[in-house]
Amino acid sequence: MTDLSPDAHSGRALISVGDFLQHGFVLPEQTAALTQVAKDFRLRMSPEMAAAGSPGVARQFVPSVQELIERPEDLTDPIGDDTHAPVPGLTHRYPDRVILHVTKTCEVYCRFCFRRETVGETGHLPEEALTQALDYIARTPAIWEVVLTGGDPLVLSARRLSDLLARIAAIPHVAVVRFHTRVPVVAPHRITPALIAALKTRLTPWIVIHTNHPDELTENATAALASLADAGIPLLSQSVLLKGVNDQVETLDRLFRRLYALRVKPYYLHHCDLARGASHFRTTIAAGQALIAALRGHLPGPCLPTYILDIPGGYGKSPIGPAYLSHHGAGHWDVLDWRGQSHRYSDPAA
């Protein structure tokens, strides 16, 4: 990879095709096609990830002409967020927990993101919509956990985050708040004492780190994760199985061992969703099963995440294992959702 100029190291994100061209991540002859990609899907690579620079990191954030390829199975809402939205900005798929989409802003825009159609659109959730969402949670006593996502909830300022958590903590039946975030890895400078202090409410906070390649765990990211762990905040990780990024036993072994050593429990390994323009990242389910089988026994039990499929259409997550998934021949599978209902999934990469 070409060395980055000083301004990329000192804080300027790469947000245009020209930025990626200037820093040697794309070729001049790709400019016209990548300009079309940028019209469809936002671009952003944080300085931390640009400086990391390895192919396994870069592939996740650098735009590709392959994103212009659309397949019949591609979906604009692959996991069915909108299917279970009782009010704007809220997804209520499971009885005891909800997803609150507090922002559409991220520090990076992953090229395989299942929300790539909407991230970056309107910034933070407007006050009127946030009030509706909190009112819904307050009048639904079965809700025990609120999952903050987006976008990335940790792009919020410490002040805004503190205010939001105080409002959630005022709802008596909510006990846990969970953050799904890339920030501690891709923008570790945001993990400040003020932000960590904002997480301290009567609610039990959990942070789920999204990271896919061991080279993302830079010295700065390591320090940010240590700050969170030292503050007593439990940390989990979720990763996406991505062709050309981490679909090798050695890569996943290094990633999960590194996370475990950093006091982060590997939690989920997601089968890549049917996001539009992301087919070049998808492996087959059989390939994912083989990777997990190869890791089992060679890694300590707490190092192994659960390999899961988010069933298209909004039916929720299902572990990819014999109790939940059965082969139906020629790349077709029957998968059980959390209610025990069966759904047919045709593996487009098979």
Active site residue 106: yes
Active site residue 113: yes
Return the closest-CA partner of residue 109 out of 39, 51, 61: 61
Q: Whole-number mean pLDDT of the chain?
A: 92
Exactly one of 104, 106, 268, 324 is catalytic; name it: 106
Exactly one of 42, 59, 93, 190 is catalytic; name it: 93
Tens digits of residue pLDDT in 130-172: 999 999 999 999 999 999 998 999 999 999 999 999 999 999 9
User: 């899907």: which residue's tokens?
Assistant: 41
CATH topology of domain 82-346: TIM Barrel (3.20.20)
Confidence of residue 297 (pLDDT cuts 50, 70, 90): confident
What does the DSSP 8-state code read for residue 190?
G
**Local structure of 140: helix, strand or coil:** coil
Share of the chain above pLDDT 70, in %: 96
Q: Which pLDDT score, from 0 to 100, does residue 323 have?
A: 67
Exactly one of 42, 215, 317, 347 is catalytic; name it: 317
Tens digits of residue pLDDT in 188-245: 999 999 999 999 999 999 999 999 999 999 999 999 999 999 999 999 999 999 999 9
Active site residue 93: yes
User: 């975030």: which residue's tokens?
Assistant: 181
Phi, psi of 295 (to 5 degrees): -80, -30
How far apart, in whole angstroms, are the C-alpha atoms of residue 225 and residue 157? 18
Phi, psi of 160 (to 5 degrees): -65, -40
Return the closest-CA partner of residue 199 out of 210, 184, 221: 184
Q: Up-side HSE of residue 169: CA atoms within 13 Å toward CB?
A: 14
Active site residue 315: no
> In 10 A of CB 100, how many CB atoms?
22
- Sheet of 90-94: strand order equals 90-94, 97-101, 145-149, 176-181, 204-210, 235-240, 264-270, 306-311, 316-319
Q: Is 271 exposed, middle or buried (CB count within 10 Å of its CB: 0-12, 13-18, 19+)? A: buried
Task: Identify whether the C-beta of residue 217 lies closer than 8 Å to the C-beta of residue 185.
Answer: yes
Return the closest-CA partner of residue 46 out of 259, 191, 189: 189
Active site residue 243: no
Active site residue 258: no
Phi, psi of 182 (to 5 degrees): -105, -15
Exactly one of 104, 109, 113, 315 is catalytic; name it: 113
Confidence of residue 122 (pLDDT cuts 50, 70, 90): low
Could you tell me the residue ranges of all domains in the chain?
6-68, 82-346
Exactly one of 59, 104, 110, 268 is catalytic; name it: 110
Segment 236-259 mean pLDDT = 98
- Predicted TM-score (pTM) of the model is 0.90
**Local structure of 188: helix, strand or coil:** helix
User: How do beta strands 145-149 and 316-319 pair?
Assistant: unpaired
Task: Identify whether the C-beta of residue 58 lies closer than 8 Å to the C-beta of residue 289.
Answer: no
Active site residue 42: no
